[in-house]
A = this chain, B = another copy of it.
Amino acid sequence: LKIKTVLFDIDDTLYDASLQMRNARLNAVRAMIEAGLPVDIESGYRVLKDIVNEHGQYYNKHFDALLKNLGLKWNPRVIAAGVVAYRETNLAYLKPFPDTIPTLLRLRESGYKLGALSDGLPVKQAQKLIQLGIQHFFERVCISEEFGLKKMAPRLFEICLQEFSNKPAEVIFIGNDLTSDIVSANKAGVISVRIRMGDSRIGEPVNSDEKPKYEIRNLSEIISIINKIENPEK
């Protein structure tokens, strides 16, 4: 069996998106408190989290809603303090895992083709790859919304495999989330690898669809998994 392509989820697979988001929100609330928001950090963070859950990650009035939900008057200075702190923290944590670039490099020099595959907004996800400094490693970037898909789905794998002219059995996919990433990869028939990173590092599959073919804790372990797949007799 010869692997031709390795596909990577982005958030919590190539970098620590959970840590980034948590700290960006905490620092945003801290900065808003410094700018006059009369709330303690824990309650501010909790209300902000509820707002994100309600309106989604790409809503652009989170901090306006925070003031409103706390029963406070709109205040552009307080909102601006939150926006600046959020963006600066976000950028500071947009760094690859220590073994991300070495692993991508090793795979490329071993002749594998690499792709990124995730849900989300195509421009936002492409921005992340650029800011992580890893966009040139990937031959294709397949993001759900570009193909009219609202979230991760087996169909996204089919489209991406077509772009690579690969059969499912020739492709490995690495992702962190069991219920979206791993389920879709399994249904598409690609070799699924769960990486235990980010908030979803805890938790076990509740059915066979959610069960990954392999499991790793660090990205670099993918090298030996490929070795095992390609040389099963050893």
Residues of A within 8 A of B (CB): 76-77, 79-81, 83-84, 122-127, 129-131, 135, 141, 143, 146
Contacts and interface: CB of A to CB of B under 8 A. Distances in A.
A222 B13 CA distance: 54
Contacts of A76: 122-123, 125-126, 141, 143, 146
Contacts of A80: 122-127, 129-130
Interface residues of chain A: helix, strand, loop or mixed (majority): helix
Contacts of A126: 76-77, 79-81
A131 B127 CA distance: 22
Contact of A131 (B84, B123, B135): B84
Please tell me how many copies of the chain the complex holds: 2
Nearest to A77: B126
Given A76-B126, A80-B122, A83-B123, 10 more contacts: A76-B122, A76-B125, A77-B126, A79-B126, A80-B123, A80-B125, A80-B130, A81-B126, A84-B130, A84-B131
Contacts of A125: 76, 80
Nearest to A61: B123
7 contacts: A76-B123, A76-B141, A79-B123, A79-B126, A81-B130, A83-B123, A83-B127
Contacts of A135: 77
A83 B84 CA distance: 17
Contacts of A79: 123, 126
Contacts of A124: 80
Contacts of A143: 76
Nearest to A88: B131
A12 B167 CA distance: 57
Contact of A141 (B77, B123, B131): B77
A135 B77 CA distance: 9
Contacts of A84: 127, 130-131
A66 to B, nearest CB: 13
A147 to B, nearest CB: 11
Contacts of A81: 126, 130
